[in-house]
Structure 1
Amino acid sequence: MSNILVTYFSASGVTKNVAQKIANDNGYDLFEIVPEEIYTPADLDWTDKNSRSTLEMNDKSFRPPIVESVDVSDYDTIVIGFPVWWYTAPTIINTFIESVDLSGKTIKAFCTSGGSGIDKCVSDLSNTYPELNFEKGLRLTGMESSDKIKEWIGE
């Protein structure tokens, strides 16, 4: 077992592919954050003001239920991957963070996004959980070399 755990939430499969590549290429353990209710394409329609994702993202206190959590006690570094929704991390990431004890852990966030960067996501998470150690995040496309990923995680 490595002492690095790659966790991720993926609504369309893009983040899942990147997370699997990171874990497989580097021998890290992998955990998928699965919502109790899977997101449909209609749920993800950001142009619909009444879509599930829009309603969730407009309510900063909402925590979408997840199927299960994971024991992170054996890990020093937790990598959390997600797509960018409304310029930040989806609220299901908060559900995950609040379901585990990340005190004393190094947390590295990565996002998959066509345009939005990771800085606001990490800043928002750091402000919500000031007691946790969020380090510099990275926007990934899945085309990065495993050396680049290893270097970022090891920074």
Structure 2
Amino acid sequence: MKTTPRHKNSDDSVLSRYEDIIQSMEQSVASNSENYRAWCVTVVAAILLGAVYNNQLTYTFVAVLPVFLSALMDGYYVALRVILKQYQKSRATPDEWELKDVANELSSAMSRVKILQLDNLAAPAIRRFYSPILVLLVLCQITAFFNGK
């Protein structure tokens, strides 16, 4: 007769519930990241449109602030998402689950991410999205300089 390995906590529904919670947290973090990117594009486009409409391209430097703030928050969410994925992979085998430690481990892992960590900005997902926006703003400044406006 085969015996199935017992988990430290034999309630499989609780284990699947924790997996669902972690998955929903990851989806929420990804959604927040997408929202910051969408708002960044919207705000930068509005600033550029206002500068072009008023023929004041020198004021496009103002658009750097929302780009930087959005990149900072997006970097925070990207770092959170990486931590959640690492945590989920480290808990791939249900035998390692001990439910009383799950919340403590996850909260301590997430507390390592700081909003103002500038190394989050070095993530490839952040660089690939925000670098072209910054290049566009620099080109606008160069254009304004050579046009004398």
TM-score (norm 1): 0.20
TM-score by length of 2: 0.21
The structure that has the greater radius of gyration is 2
- Higher RCO (C-alpha under 8 Å, 6+ residues apart): 2
Larger helix proportion of the pair: 2
The structure with the largest strand share of the pair is: 1
